[in-house]
Amino acid sequence: MLRHAMRSVLVLVPVLMGLSIAHAHDLWISREGRRNAAGEWCCGEGDCFAVPGDQVRISSSGYTLFGAENVPFNEAQPSPDGIYWRCMRPDGSRRCFFAPPQGY
C-alpha cells in the first residue's frame, strides 16, 4: 500500500506543480547526456521533473524525497541549476537524482 501511495505521489507531483517536464530535457540533463552509475540515460521523453525543495530532507545518510524515498548521497549527481530533479523509469522507480551542491 505504501509503495502504491508513494508511486501515486511521484506521478502526481509534476502534474500538480504545473511544471513542464520537457524543461529538464531542453536543458542540461538531456544536452549533457547524463547517465546514472549503471550507465542508463537519465532522461527520456517525459521522465524527469523538478522536486520542490520543501519536499526534500537532508540527513546524514542522504536525501529523503516526499517523506518516503531515500536517495543515498553516492547516488545523487550535482545539479548545476540549483534545482532538485528526479528522473524515473517507466515503472516509476528512480533512474537518476540531481541535487544542488550544499550551500547553493
Percent of the chain scored above 90 by pLDDT? 55
Report the predicted TM-score, pTM, of the whole model to 2 decimal places.
Answer: 0.73
* Residue 28: pLDDT band with limits 50, 70, 90: confident
The stretch 83-88 carries a mean pLDDT of 94
* Mean pLDDT in residue range 7-23: 49
**63: domain range?**
2-99
What integer is the mean pLDDT of 16-37?
A: 67
Please tell me the total count of domains within the chain. Answer: 1
Give the cell for residue 45: 521523453
Strands of the chain, DSSP E: 48-51, 56-58, 62-65, 69-72, 76-78, 84-88, 94-99
**104, part of any domain:** no
